[in-house]
Chains A and B, each alone.
Chain A
Amino acid sequence: MSAEPRINNRKFRIRPANVVIAGYLLFLLVPIYWLVIMSFKTNSEILSSFTLFPDNFTLENYQTILTDPSWYMGYVNSFIYVSLNTVISLLVALPAAYAFSRYRFFGDNHLFFWLLTNRMAPPAVFALPFFQLYSSVSLFDTHIAVALAHCLFNVPLAVWILEGFMRGIPREIDETAFIDGYGFTRFFTRIFVPMIGPGIGVTAFFCFMFSWVELLLSRTLTSVDAKPITAIMTRTVSASGLDWGVLAAAGVLTIIPGAIVIYFVRNYIAKGFALGRV
């Protein structure tokens, strides 16, 4: 690496690249910082005084959320349908991604494109028909309805990402296994799935994430029993006399699941967001 010594020589000089990165990260983190410290302030402090750091550091907002069922059930509901969706998406996407990565078959390119269009379709277009559809089969306000609705974009996403991972695995492995007398099912579950373990993990993460962050469909398809935290938050916003501190705390709690796992998938983030195409 010939670039190395040059960087070392100038280690203590301010490089433009570092200024760009530092400025960009600052831009990213300041709004988050503001949300986080607001969640530690009392509502009266938020409204009356302008402080960069809470005067009276309080956990009251979090306490409110964790003790009030109308708040914490939102997290539980979100968690249930998001998990359901992740499991369903992975189960159906695994064999399909294998088919796309290994075989040519009638209409494969068109199917692959059709899946992409579902990822690109605006949820707003589907909100109304979904509402009618799930009401007519009396699944309205259930977790499974939201989980199935999110399959609209998560199944295509899972197929594309998994296909990207599977392409990287040499086909000779499949052939050897088949020659050794493995049936397809046994080969797939015993050999292939463990081999793309990281890929499955990353895909699960992205299915989880995209279902977790979505608001429009989950709000449209629920009213009480399966109401997700995101919908609870937006309804609080529209209500008058709202408690900013609690809202901020609720927001911080929704960021935490992603923030915990993010370190493990950091090298695959680009691949996941790019539908496996990187």
Chain B
Amino acid sequence: MEKTVNQRAWFLVLPVLVLVAFSSVIPMMTVVNYSFQDSFGGNEFFWVGLEWYQELLRSGRLWDAFGRQLLFSSIILAIEIPLGILVALSMPKKGWAASVCLVLMALPLLIPYNVVGTIWQVFGRADIGLLGRTLSDLGISYNYAQNAFDAWVTVIAMDVWHWTSLVALLAYAGLRSIPSAYYQAAEIDQASRWSVFRYIELPKMRGVLIIAILLRFMDSFMIYTEPFVLTGGGPGNSTTFLSIDLVKMALGQFDLGPAAAFSLMYFLVILLISYVFYTVMITIDKDEAKA
């Protein structure tokens, strides 16, 4: 179906444009303005040129947070995508069992981010938490508040707990769109489980998996609330991801200039990644429209 050209459609989009411009363009402009200036008390500004950018780009702070962030997002993707696919493949295809699975799996997705943090904060504590207590009873020393490695494991476990269902639900939706004739053909050919997955299921899931990777990458790239509640970015700075560091700088220390420069660089990276994914998505959409 070809869409018709109609320039008056602009009027239908106008309210969104105005509203989102108010929420995004004006703040972005402000951020650009702040990033070139130093401020005293948040109302007197002095032009400092590129100083903040230079300082940030040449200090360890930004790069450390960026490195931690990349590592975190990569680990998250490496665990959640395969696990989500595995769960989706194992889900019942229909009936009440499928409904129960869907509802239970969606539950973590709908919990406020800070409550997710609270749940794991409580769950992992050695004195009052089931996980922490069990581990310490087993003789494993585990303390996410003091040991950086334990903190990382907990944050990752928390994110896997929180978001793997998203990947699974998307993959499941992709799987359900495969006509049963495909499976019947595979059975006649006596195809192995692996080749059914590789040549039927995986290609059909391509579109949804791209979306899953996009969403998981982006959302983990801006993760703030959950680790903030769980570890507060600690111990030390070990779980201080980009957003946590930025908020510390912007609202904790009220360093408008550096925080704005930080924001812009952060946003530029987001923009690049969004564009790459969007382009891939559009290309796949076109491929599927042709097929």
Contact = CB atoms under 8 A, between A and B. Distances in A.
Nearest to B2: A104
A237 interface: yes
A17 interface: yes
B126 to A, nearest CB: 10
A132 interface: yes
A278 B211 contact: yes
B89 A251 contact: no
B112 A103 contact: no
A103 B9 contact: yes
Nearest to B123: A31
B90 A258 contact: no
Contacts of A193: none
B278 interface: yes
A118 interface: yes
B3 A117 contact: no
B267 A50 contact: no
A144 interface: no
Q: How large is the interface on A (under 10, 10 to 19, 20 to 34, 35 or more residues)?
A: 35 or more
Interface string A250-268: 0100110011001100110
B224 A123 contact: yes
B4 A155 contact: no
A241 interface: no
B90 A21 contact: yes
B110 A259 contact: yes
Contacts of B91: 17, 21
User: Interface SS of chain B: helix, strand, loop or mixed?
Assistant: helix
Contacts of A149: 23
A199 B125 CA distance: 42
Contacts of B87: 20-21, 24
Contacts of A230: 112-115
Contact of B15 (A96, A116, A133, A273): A96
A237 B211 CA distance: 35
A20 to B, nearest CB: 4
Contacts of A95: 12-13, 15
B79 to A, nearest CB: 12
Contacts, number: 302
Interface string A5-33: 00000000000111011001101111110
A44 to B, nearest CB: 12
A259 B251 CA distance: 33
A220 interface: yes
B3 A262 contact: no
Interface in B241-265: 242-244, 246-247, 250-251, 256, 259-260, 263
Interface stretch (B49-57, B70-78, B141-149, B167-175): B167-175
A100 B3 CA distance: 9
B183 A248 contact: no
Contacts of A133: 26-27, 30
A270 B102 CA distance: 10
A124 interface: yes
Contacts of B89: 17
Interface residues of B, number: 108
Given A103-B3, A128-B256, A148-B22, A262 B27 contact: no
Contacts of A47: 127-128
Given A102-B3, A124-B224, A28 B108 contact: yes
Given A88-B19, A128-B256, A34 B266 contact: no
B164 to A, nearest CB: 8
A40 B218 CA distance: 37
Interface in A167-215: 171, 209, 212-215
Contacts of B133: 50
Among all A-B residue pairs, the 7 with the closest Cβ atoms: A258-B110, A122-B222, A129-B27, A17-B90, A124-B243, A99-B12, A270-B173
Interface of A: 1-3, 16-18, 20-21, 24-25, 27-32, 34-35, 38, 46-47, 50, 52, 88, 91-93, 95-96, 98-100, 102-106, 108-109, 111, 113-118, 120-133, 148-149, 151-152, 155-156, 159, 171, 209, 212-216, 220, 230, 233-234, 237, 244, 247-248, 251, 254-255, 258-259, 262-263, 266-267, 269-271, 273-275, 277-278
Given A28-B107, A129-B34, 7 more contacts: A34-B119, A129-B31, A133-B27, A151-B19, A248-B118, A269-B169, A277-B207
17 contacts: A16-B90, A28-B107, A32-B108, A50-B133, A96-B13, A99-B9, A113-B278, A117-B274, A133-B27, A152-B20, A155-B23, A212-B112, A213-B112, A213-B113, A255-B115, A273-B166, A275-B215
